[in-house]
Amino acid sequence: MKGIVLAGGHGTRLHPVTLGVSKQLLPVYDKPMIYYSLSVLMLAGIREILVVSTPEDLPGFRRLLGDGAELGLSLDYVEQAEPKGLADAFILGADHVGDDSVALVLGDNIFHGQGFSALLQRTAQDLHGCVLFGYPVQDPRRYGVGEVNVRGELISIEEKPNRPRSNRAITGLYFYDNDVLEIAAGLRPSSRGELEITDVNRAYLARGTAKLVDLGRGFAWLDTGTHESLTEAGQYVRVLEHRQGVRIACLEEIALRMGFIDRDACHRLGERMANSGYGQYVMEIAAARPALRAVT
C-alpha cells in the first residue's frame, strides 16, 4: 500500500498566520502539524509516501522531511498548483500509487487512540473497495456524514446535510483499492469547481464496496483548520504527553518500533536535536531496552 498526505490549500481560515507559511508546517504543541498525518501512515506500515502541496510550500516540506530515508521511508513530492479538491490527489499521485492500494490522509487531521496501529494494519491487509473512518460529533451538519444500517453496513453518505441521518462524521483518513485511480479520473468538478472525495466514496458505495469503521470511545480525532481548533489540538497533545511521559506522533520513535530504522539510527536523529526536549526524548527511546508495549 502507498500513502498520500494532502497538505495543499492556502489555510485561509488561519490568516494572517498562514500568509507566510503552510498550515501543515505550523506547530501543534511540540512538532509540525504534518508529523501527525505522517505518523498515521507509518503506523499502518506504509513506507512509500507522497506529499501533495502548493508550489510555494513544497520547499518547506522538503527541508523538513527530505527524502525520508533517515526514517526508513521513501518520500516524494508533487505540486498542486491550485485547490482542485481532495480527489485530485489521486490524479496527481497516479504514478506514485501505480498498481497498489492507497491510503490518503489530510495533513491537518490528528488521530490518536489505543490500538490504532493494529486497526490500521488490519484495514490495509484486508482492503476490498474503500474503508472510511467515522467519528461521532455533536454537529454533523459541518461534515460529510455516513449512515449505517442495523448490521453496521454503510448505506448512505451525505455532505454537510441540513438534517443528518447520523452523527458519524467521515474523517480525513481514507483507504482505497486501486480502482480509486479510475474513479477519480472519471469525476466531474462539482459546483465548487472541485473533484470531491464524497463523489469517490459514493462511487464505491454504489458498488457495494464501501465500509465505515467507527472510531468511538478511546479515540481522538481533531482537525486544526481554525485558530480555536489549532489551539485545542496543541492543548490536547500537551496534556497527554505531560501526563503519560510519551510523545504523540514522534516519527523517530514510530520508525524504530515499526522496524523501519535501528536504535543507532534513531539515536543519531535525536542527537541532531539534543538541545530540545523532543531530541532528548528520541535519544532516550533509542537507548532504552526494547519496550513491551506496542506503538498505538
The model's confidence at residue 289, banded by pLDDT at 50, 70 and 90, is: low
Question: Could you check whether the bond before residue 83 is cis, i.e. omega within 30 degrees of 0?
Answer: no
Whether the pLDDT of residue 237 is over 60: the answer is: yes
Alpha helices (runs of H) in the chain, residue ranges in sequence order: 33-43, 58-65, 88-92, 94-97, 116-125, 179-185, 197-207, 227-244, 251-257, 263-271, 277-287
Whether the pLDDT of residue 251 is over 90: the answer is: yes
Whether the pLDDT of residue 93 is over 80: the answer is: yes
Average pLDDT of the segment spanning 223-248: 93
Q: Quick one: pLDDT at residue 223? A: 84
Calculate the alpha carbon distances from 146 to 111, 161, 235 in Å: 18, 11, 29
Average pLDDT over the chain, rounded to an integer: 94
The model's confidence at residue 238, banded by pLDDT at 50, 70 and 90, is: very high
Q: What global pTM score does this model have?
A: 0.94
Residue-wise pLDDT tens digits, 150-184: 999 999 999 999 999 999 999 999 999 999 999 99
Q: Quick one: pLDDT at residue 225? A: 84
Q: Which is it for strands 102-106 and 31-32: parallel, antiparallel or unpaired?
A: unpaired
CB 268 within 8 A of CB 259: no
Q: Quick one: pLDDT at residue 290? A: 62
Whether the pLDDT of residue 206 is over 70: the answer is: yes
Q: Quick one: pLDDT at residue 126? A: 85
CA dist 278 and 246 (Å) reads 10
The set of cell numbers assigned to 33 is 502539524
* Lowest-confidence segment of 69-73, 191-195, 200-204, 205-209 by average pLDDT: 191-195
CB 37 within 8 A of CB 109: yes
Q: Residue 117's Cα: distance from chain center in Å?
A: 13
